[in-house]
Each structure stands twice: as C-alpha cells, then as structure tokens.
Amino acid sequence: MTVEEHYKAIAPRLTNWLVATGSPYAEACDLVQNTFLRIWKMREDLVDNDAAVSGLAFTIARNLRKNLARDNRRLTFKEEIKEEDAGSVMPAELPSEAEQRRRELRGKLTEAFARLPSALRETYTLFQVGERSIREIAAATGVGENLVKVRIFRAKEKLRQILVEMGVTL
C-alpha cells in the first residue's frame, strides 16, 4: 500500500483514538497530519505491512502528543481575556431533547474516561476506538498480551462502575 492508502485507512481511527484519549479534535487532526508527514518522510524505509504501519502511526502520534503536552506546560500566558471579548454566541436554534441527552451522556462518558487510570484508558481506547488487536496493543504499549486483556476487562468494569456512580443507567 502507498502512504496515501495507509492514510485513508488509518487516519480516521487514529483521530478517533486521540480524541477519545483526551486531545481536542483540532489538535488530534494536527497530530494525525504530523504523524503522516513523518511516515511520508520515511516511506522509502517502510516495510509494506499494514499492521506495522498502523502500529508505527499510533506510536508516532502518541509520542507527538506527549511532546506537545510537555511543550505546552512550558508556556505561560501573560494576557487575560478582556471581559468584552469573552462574550458568547447564541446558537441559531436550540438542540432537541435527544441531542441534549446525547451531549449529556457524551460529557459523562468523557468524564468517566478521564477518571480511568492512564494505563487502562490507553489500552481500552486503542482496543475500542483505535480498533487495534491485542497483539498490536501489546507491542505498542510494551506489555504482554495477557496484561492487555486484563486491562481491557478492568477498564470496562471501572467505566461501568463510574457511570453507575454518575447516575447513568446502563
């Protein structure tokens, strides 16, 4: 496969995984672009193995996000937003009850994911959102396949427990 074909196959899953693990959507899109820019630069050295390229993409994106978080910690903001600039814009139409319920549930799910221990959150999102196999997750995270299975199980149980505590009926 060409880099373009890999991009079409991997980019949506990679973006979803980045968003599910806490990156804002715009940042996730930038990380995916930078990931494939790096893959493009090493295209001559790549082995044409779909699983290897997918694993490489997820590893590069994870490392880029870590670098970005580290760099952002160093930033300091000197100006405050003026009150007159902080106004809100009213939406053209209010969301329906079903849409409000979806947003509420999405917010609770995001909060529940944030409360998971990082190892469980990363493993579970690689599995569910990234659609990676147990073997690929083990290789990407540097742990055994059995531990990956345990982490996925524990993440599901912990998410269920957290959501029940938040009052979400399952």
- 46 falls within a domain: yes
Where residue 87 falls among pLDDT bands split at 50, 70, 90? low
- 122 falls within a domain: yes
Reported as a single tens digit per residue, the pLDDT across 58-79 is 889 999 988 888 777 665 554 5
Q: Is the pLDDT of residue 86 over 80?
A: no
Determine contact, residues 121/137, Cβ cutoff 8 Å: no
- 90 falls within a domain: no
Q: Is the pLDDT of residue 108 over 70?
A: yes
Where residue 51 falls among pLDDT bands split at 50, 70, 90? confident
Residue with tokens 């690689």: 126
Of 41, 74, 107, the last residue of a domain is: 74
Q: What is the pLDDT of residue 92?
A: 54
pLDDT, averaged across the chain? 82
Determine contact, residues 18/61, Cβ cutoff 8 Å: yes
Reported as a single tens digit per residue, the pLDDT across 119-158 is 998 899 888 878 888 998 998 888 999 999 999 999 999 9
Mean pLDDT of 104-124: 87
Q: What is the identity of the amino acid at 4?
A: E
Give the domain extent around 151.
98-165
Q: What is the distance between the alpha carbons of residues 55 and 40, in angstroms, rounded to a whole number? A: 15
Where residue 21 falls among pLDDT bands split at 50, 70, 90? confident
Residue 151 to residues 51, 86, 157, 162, Cα–Cα distance (Å)? 21, 42, 10, 16
Q: What is the pLDDT of residue 5?
A: 85
Q: What is the distance between the alpha carbons of residues 13 and 32, in angstroms, rounded to a whole number? A: 10
CATH of the domain at 144: 1.10.10.10
115 and 152 fall within a common domain: yes
Chain centroid to CA 103: 18
Phi then psi dihedrals of residue 30, to 5 deg = -65, -40
Where residue 82 falls among pLDDT bands split at 50, 70, 90? low
Q: What is the pLDDT of residue 110?
A: 84
Q: How many domains does the chain have?
A: 2
For residues 59 and 2, the model is more confident at: 59
